């Protein structure tokens, strides 16, 4: 993978996290609902729920990071 592709992936990753954080600020239940979606998808064998251990851990870490950022933003706004 070249530097341009890495830069695009990193930018897209950050933009996606920012959008999810913004949505979570506007809808505090959003991240819990995402957890439910992943759990139901996993139970039903849906590809959204299929992930190896490392991917699940990374997803959990990302959602925790977004939860923390959204919580901080809400605290700062009030």
pLDDT by residue (tens digit) across 23-69? Answer: 999 998 999 999 999 999 999 999 998 988 999 899 999 999 999 99
Interhelix angle for 30-43 vs 3-26, to 10°?
Answer: 110
Contact 21, 73 (CB under 8 A): yes
pTM (2 decimals)?
0.80
Which helix H or strand E contains 5, and what residues bound it?
helix 3-26
């Amino acid at each position: 993978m070249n530097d341009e592709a890495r830069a695009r992936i990193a930018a897209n990753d950050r933009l996606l996290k920012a959008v999810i954080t913004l949505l979570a600020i506007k809808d505090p239940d959003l991240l819990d609902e995402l957890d439910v979606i992943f759990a139901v998808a996993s139970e039903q064998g849906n590809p959204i729920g299929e992930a190896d251990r490392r991917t699940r851990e990374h997803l959990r870490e990302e959602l925790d990071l977004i939860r923390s950022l959204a919580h901080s933003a809400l605290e700062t706004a009030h």
